[in-house]
């Protein structure tokens, strides 16, 4: 009896693991070299950003890793240089909740006079406490969208200097639950409750994809292409504010289940690598494949134009030299 029970458990675990590997274990097989090409990664101190950084450093890319914690950045830079001695890795401070920090970072990049091959907008927050940044916008809205908008537009001149440049924005399935723009209550501090925190996150990602669609049309027939990646549900620090996972005991109680249904950062990084390295990756990528499974409302030209105008107005003081 116990033998049969044990055998059943082993078989069940083996089947579950095989299914998991089939869906999550696929690797990007693109062999393109990035030797000497500059790639900027936001939110590179942990999770998907760090996993992507390791993969690109091994391909010879000149990496610029960014984050808002200089101590963490320095540790990651030292760790990667030790792990990949031949890697060309540089860490720079960048806080998406500060327009001034974004402008300062771009000024430093522009002074180097090097073309930038890729910008990977990976940094993001989820279920964050509602509070306004120094620029007067909710921290979720500015980190996940408005800061990315400003950073991307300011970096366009150096991206256009490269022969074939790419902008990769990390999306989320949460953007599918938004069907109205604008929702001005999520631009500023909102009433704090679980539902509003979820909606603020989804709204910020909706704006990001809406902006990506608009930008991809504006850059059509240029050397810069725009891509969105939905990495799926990934075991990263983005959940550190989420009550069911913030408590260590509850987190580890869920661990056996999460092992089978949640991606590891390296697994999620494969879709980002595909967007960056594949010859024609498509606009919206999920599971290493181009997909049309994104919110159809992001194709709304009226929404897109509204967002573009409002975003430029919000960042006007830092966009004086751009069109």
The phi-psi region of residue 233 (left if phi > 0; otherwise alpha if psi is between -120 and 50; otherwise beta) is beta
* C-alpha dihedral, 45 to 63 to 144 to 147, nearest 10°: 120
SS3 323: coil
- Quickly list H helices, 59-92: 70-83
Q: How far is CA 142 from the centre of its chain?
A: 14
Look up tokens 């274990």; give the residue.
Answer: 25
Active centre residues (catalytic): 201
SS3 89: strand
SS3 239: helix
Please check whether residue 53 is in contact with residue 41, taking contact to mean a CB–CB distance below 8 angstroms.
yes
| Range 300-306 contact pairs with CB under 8 angstroms and sequence separation of 24 or more | 300/181, 300/210, 303/181, 303/210, 304/210, 304/211, 304/213, 304/214, 305/214, 306/181, 306/182
CA geometry: angle 150, 77, 72, nearest 5 deg: 70
Strands across the sheet containing 284-286: 88-93, 62-67, 38-41, 116-121, 165-170, 224-230, 284-286, 289-290
């Amino acid at each position: 009896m116990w033998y049969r029970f044990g055998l059943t458990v082993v078989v069940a675990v083996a089947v579950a693991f095989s299914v998991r590997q089939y869906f999550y274990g696929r690797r990007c097989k693109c062999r393109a070299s990035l030797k000497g090409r500059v790639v900027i990664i936001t939110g590179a101190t942990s999770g998907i950003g760090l996993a992507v950084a390791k993969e690109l450093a091994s391909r010879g890319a000149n990496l610029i890793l960014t984050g808002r914690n200089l101590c963490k950045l320095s540790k990651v830079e030292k760790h990667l240089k030790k792990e990949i001695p031949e890697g060309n890795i540089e860490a720079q401070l960048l806080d998406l909740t500060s327009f001034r920090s974004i402008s300062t970072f771009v000024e430093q990049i522009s002074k180097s006079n090097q073309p930038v091959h890729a910008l990977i907008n990976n940094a993001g927050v989820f279920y964050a406490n509602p509070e306004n940044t120094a620029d007067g916008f909710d921290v979720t809205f500015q980190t996940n969208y408005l800061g990315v908008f400003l950073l991307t537009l300011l970096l366009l001149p150096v991206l256009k200097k490269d022969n074939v440049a790419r902008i990769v924005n990390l999306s989320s399935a949460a953007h599918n639950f938004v069907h109205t723009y604008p929702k001005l209550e999520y631009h500023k501090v909102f009433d704090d409750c679980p539902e509003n925190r979820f909606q603020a996150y989804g709204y910020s990602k909706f704006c990001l994809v809406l902006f990506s669609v608009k930008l991809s049309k504006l850059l059509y027939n240029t050397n810069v292409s725009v891509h969105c990646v939905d990495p799926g549900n990934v075991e990263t620090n983005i959940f550190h504010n989420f009550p069911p996972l913030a408590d260590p005991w509850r987190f580890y109680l869920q661990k056996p289940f999460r092992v089978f249904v949640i991606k590891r950062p390296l697994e999620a990084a494969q879709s980002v690598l595909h967007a960056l390295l594949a010859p024609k990756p498509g606009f919206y990528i999920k599971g290493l494949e181009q997909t049309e499974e994104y919110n159809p409302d992001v194709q709304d030209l009226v929404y897109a134009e509204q967002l573009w105008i409002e975003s430029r107005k919000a960042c006007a003081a830092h966009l004086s030299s751009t069109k």
